[in-house]
Amino acid sequence: MEFTAKAIAEFLGGNVEGDPEIKASTVVKIEEGRPGALSFLSNPKYSKYLYTTSSSIVLINSDFILEDKVSATLIRVDNAYESFAKLLSLVAAAKSAKQGVHAKAHVEPSASIDSSAYVGPFVYIGENTTIAKGVQIHPNAYIGNNVKIDENSTVFAGAQVTDDCVVGKNCTIHSGAIIGSDGFGFAPQADGTYQKIPQIGNVILEDNVDVGANTTIDRATMGSTIIRKGVKLDNLIQVAHNVEIGENTVIAAQSGIAGSTKIGKNCMFGGQVGVAGHITIANGVKLSAQSGVANSLKEPDEILFGSPAMNIKRFTRSFVLFKKFPEIVKEIDILKQSISKD
């Protein structure tokens, strides 16, 4: 689909500088610009490309000051990055969603599938499962028994939503993700072996949750593992049984959350963060990449780093001393030798 600069500006509430009738049919990075494409500039590091890009249209911030002439038509908006994301949503919505159940899908007779939903080839839909309006289930996905998937959610190829799990509206479950895998529960026995503890709970994804590729969310031992609305989980994340993640929390790849931990709202975790079980993390906490959390974090909006995680300011001061540790030890040894001579 093609959009004119004028139409894009009206949609975003921006102002056009240049040809309002010029059209764009694709989006590309500003440094890879080409005619007929739209790009955006929000990071100052890429400002130099604005003057050389071949893109037909570029989104820029309203307060950006030009240092030279540009050939592209500009659309000035309050926030170029947010506007670009909004525009991508428009492009995605413009793509026609598929409908209907493919002949090679297997749907149990007791399942209920809305006529506007799409079920691709080699999908399995279990007993008493409900698939709501606009849901898209791509090839080779597995949807177990007694599952509920609400309106306009998408399950990509090869993903699984196992028995009794609930998926809210506008959720996205990427390829290879498993919702409701068995929780890691084993009771140690007197002879040194482990007895499996049945995991009879489920997983609840509230509205607008995004689950990355190959991420696993374990079902609860009893009750529910709950991912609150607006949570965004990156690829390759492990969420254990009975965990609760608060609204609009974002967690980057390769992180792991151990069982029964409660994470607050609006938290941000970097990659490879590890969180121990049975603890609580306050709202707004930010954990830098590779941080390790062994105890509850009760201070809202705190920024932490390291393993064990500590306040970022304290960590920075400690790290300065740690880098000097060999010299400090050497100085101590010299002092000890001096004292012993006296």
Which pLDDT tens digit goes with each residue over 106-136? 999 999 999 999 999 999 999 999 999 999 9
Domain containing 119 — which CATH number?
Answer: 2.160.10.10
Residues 126 and 32 in one domain: no
Position 296 in a domain: yes
pLDDT of residue 115: 96
Residues 86 and 69 in one domain: yes
Dihedral pair phi/psi, residue 10, rounded to 5°: -65, -40
Residues 192 and 57 in one domain: no
Residues 6+ apart with CB under 8 A from 310: 304, 318
Residues 155 and 43 in one domain: no
Could you count the other beta carbons within 10 Å of the beta carbon of residue 73? 24
Across the strands, what pairs with 15?
A: 76
For residues 52 and 68, give the distance between their C-alpha atoms in angstroms, rounded to a whole number: 10
Tell me how many domains the chain contains. 2
Task: Please tell me whether the peptide bond between 35 and the residue prior to it is cis, using omega within 30 degrees of 0.
Answer: no
Across the strands, what pairs with 204?
A: 166, 226
Q: Which residue's entry shows tokens 């959390």?
A: 293
Domain containing 69 — which CATH number?
Answer: 3.40.1390.10
Position 329 in a domain: no
Position 213 in a domain: yes
Across the strands, what pairs with 40?
A: 59
Residues 76 and 136 in one domain: no
Residues 129 and 151 in one domain: yes
Which pLDDT tens digit goes with each residue over 41-75? 999 999 999 999 999 999 999 999 999 999 999 99
Position 275 in a domain: yes
Is 80 exceeded by the pLDDT of residue 239? Answer: yes
For residues 241 and 274, give the distance between their C-alpha atoms in angstroms, rounded to a whole number: 15
Residues 6+ apart with CB under 8 A from 277: 240, 258, 259, 260, 261
Residues 67 and 171 in one domain: no
pLDDT of residue 334: 84
Residues 41 and 107 in one domain: no
Range 7-37 burial, b when 16+ CB lie within 10 A, else e: ebbeebebebbbeeebbbeebbebeebeebb
pLDDT of residue 342: 63
Residues 224 and 261 in one domain: yes
Residues 53 and 133 in one domain: no
pLDDT of residue 211: 98
Q: Domain range for residue 68? A: 3-94
Position 332 in a domain: no
What confidence tier does 332 reach under pLDDT thresholds 50, 70, 90?
Answer: confident
For residues 179 and 147, give the distance between their C-alpha atoms in angstroms, rounded to a whole number: 11
Structure tokens at 288: 């830098």
Q: Which residues are catalytic?
A: 241
- Mean pLDDT, to the nearest integer, of 7-21? 95
Which pLDDT tens digit goes with each residue over 185-237? 999 999 999 999 999 999 999 999 999 999 999 999 999 999 999 999 999 99
- Mean pLDDT, to the nearest integer, of 324-330? 84
pLDDT of residue 94: 66
pTM, to two decimals: 0.84
Across the strands, what pairs with 262?
A: 244, 280
Cβ pair 284, 301 in contact under 8 A: yes
For residues 301 and 304, give the distance between their C-alpha atoms in angstroms, rounded to a whole number: 10
Position 331 in a domain: no
Give the residue among 228, 136, 222, 141 at the shortest CA–CA distance from 185: 222
Residues 211 and 78 in one domain: no
- Within 234-329, strands assigned E span 238-239, 244-245, 250-251, 256-257, 262-263, 268-269, 274-275, 280-281, 286-287, 292-293, 303-305, 310-311
Share of the chain above pLDDT 70, in %: 98
CA 245 to chain centroid: 12
Position 118 in a domain: yes
- Mean pLDDT, to the nearest integer, of 268-281? 97
Domain end call among 73, 94, 115: 94
Structure tokens at 6: 């004028």
- Mean pLDDT, to the nearest integer, of 130-156? 97
DSSP letters of 319-336? HHHHHTHHHHHHHHHHHH
Domain end call among 61, 94, 127: 94
Residues 104 and 135 in one domain: yes
Domain end call among 78, 94, 110: 94
Is 90 exceeded by the pLDDT of residue 331? Answer: no
End-to-end CA distance of the chain: 87
Position 128 in a domain: yes
